[in-house]
Amino acid sequence: MKNLKKNLQTVNKDLKALAKKVDRMMVMVGKLEKPKTIKAKPAKKTVAKAKPVKKVAAKKTPVKKAAIKKPAAKKPVKLIAADTVFGFIKRYRKGVDVSTLMEKTGFNRRKIYDNVKILKKQGKIQSEGRGVYVKT
């Protein structure tokens, strides 16, 4: 127990010594950095005094340009499943059955039926027979 206590006290002293060294190093680094920032600040002040009018004018034009750029950027339109199904149905004049739609689109039967229901509500297609759909 005594050995452990002595070891802990030694470690504690070493840590304190290391902490002091780190503090000294931080102070030294701080002193090295201060001249750089002092030299940079007067240059910024003279630049800021010489260009306050230009900065105000520059701020107004980028804001307008940014507003113009937003509507100009177009995102590609993503086709929803109903549009895909409708695209295949309107290709067939006599109508198309569910199994053909499954092969062409790669959708399962349930997804085909759900999308056909949506298209029927929109009035884009109608049923010619059981499981056969035609563009209206």
Nearest Cα residue to 98 out of 89, 122, 90, 123 = 89
pLDDT of residue 53: 56
What digits encode the pLDDT tens for the residues 65-99?
555 556 656 667 777 899 999 999 999 999 999 99
For residue 41, give both structure tokens.
């600040």
What digits encode the pLDDT tens for the residues 93-123?
999 999 999 999 999 999 999 999 999 999 9
Whole-number Å distance between alpha carbons of 46 and 81: 62
Tokens 């029927």 map to which residue? 120
Whole-number Å distance between alpha carbons of 22 and 5: 26
Q: How far is CA 11 from the centre of its chain?
A: 49
Categorize the per-residue pLDDT at 42 as very low, low, confident or very high, splitting at 50, 70 and 90.
low
Q: Strand 125-129 vs strand 132-135: parallel, antiparallel, or unpaired?
A: antiparallel
Q: Are 113 and 133 in contact (CB under 8 A)?
A: no
Whole-number Å distance between alpha carbons of 29 and 99: 75
For residue 37, give both structure tokens.
């920032």
Whole-number Å distance between alpha carbons of 107 and 56: 57
